[in-house]
């Protein structure tokens, strides 16, 4: 029996530990999603304030808020799908656009 412990070898990165890279650049998608969702929230607040002060009727308020919610949800869903169907990043700069 050998009294010395086996030599240390660093763990190899597994496939699961690699960061994912989306079909489109995740940084760009995240930035665009942030700005679109922020714009939708700000627009919804503005329209709600107009409706509270009776500068816009309730029909305009309801349609505007519903439209902003649909656009924001679609943007968030696209961001999620982009990252979910991306290929793993090798760390060497290769991969999808």
Cβ pair 46, 68 in contact under 8 A: no
Query: Nearest CA to 91 among 22, 11, 27, 21?
Result: 21
Q: Is the pTM of this model over 0.75?
A: no
14-69 pLDDT per residue, tens = 555 556 577 788 889 999 999 999 999 999 999 888 888 888 887 888 898 899 99
Higher-pLDDT residue of 4, 18: 4
Query: Is residue 85's pLDDT more than 60?
Result: yes
Higher-pLDDT residue of 55, 94: 55
| pLDDT confidence of residue 35 | 94
Q: Which helix (H) or strand (E) holds 87?
A: strand 87-88
71 φ/ψ angles, rounded to the nearest 5 degrees: -65, -45
């Amino acid at each position: 029996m050998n009294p010395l412990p086996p030599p240390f070898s660093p763990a190899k990165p597994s496939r699961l530990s690699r960061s994912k890279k989306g079909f489109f650049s995740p940084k760009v998608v995240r930035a665009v999603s942030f700005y679109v969702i922020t714009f939708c929230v700000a627009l919804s607040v503005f329209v709600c304030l107009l409706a509270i002060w009776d500068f816009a009727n309730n029909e305009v308020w309801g349609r505007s808020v519903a439209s902003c919610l649909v656009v924001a949800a679609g943007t968030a869903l696209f961001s999620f799908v982009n990252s979910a169907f991306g290929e793993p990043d090798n760390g060497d700069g290769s991969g999808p656009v």
